[in-house]
Amino acid sequence: SIREPRPGDEDSILSLIRDLALYEKAPEQVVAQRSDLTEALFGDEAVAQCVLAEKSGEALGFALFFINFSTWTGRPGLYLEDLFVREAARGQGIGKALLLHLATIARRRDYGRMEWSVLDWNRPAIEFYESLGARPMNGWTVYRLDRSALLALDS
């Protein structure tokens, strides 16, 4: 089943995030804590949303997203930050179910689009996304100011 998280699910979500980081060969980059997820998902000024895929109460996957805005369409959009299914649960349609659930949310809310990034080396994910009709945005490169770069900028 797919459901929205409830307070108390933070440890399950954090475990999935850590498993995702291992898969992406960057476990040392996860610095998020349970309290960060509590605030981001359930706080007064929540900035993220999430859905969990479960079987018999066990979290097998998740999709974490937030709302962005397109100046060109004049509409909000859904930005998928992370989609992950534990290795033992892959091949059962869970990833597709999560993505279709998000597409339903985007349609219901009348969003203009849904976007995400994928690592260039992640061929299984790329093939999965393309099988659903998603296409790469060639000509665009993602840029990032990480925390240290943000702190180094003069106001």
User: What is the enclosing helix (H) or strand (E) of 98?
Assistant: helix 94-108
Task: Please provide residue 13's backbone torsions phi and psi, each rounded to the nearest 5 degrees.
Answer: -65, -45
23 and 84 in contact (C-beta within 8 Å)?
A: yes
- Phi-psi region at 11: left, alpha or beta (left = phi > 0; alpha = psi -120 to 50): alpha
The residue from 23, 79, 111, 129 that is catalytic is: 129
129 annotated active-site: yes
94 and 61 in contact (C-beta within 8 Å)?
A: yes
The three-class DSSP label of residue 44 is coil
Catalytic site positions: 129
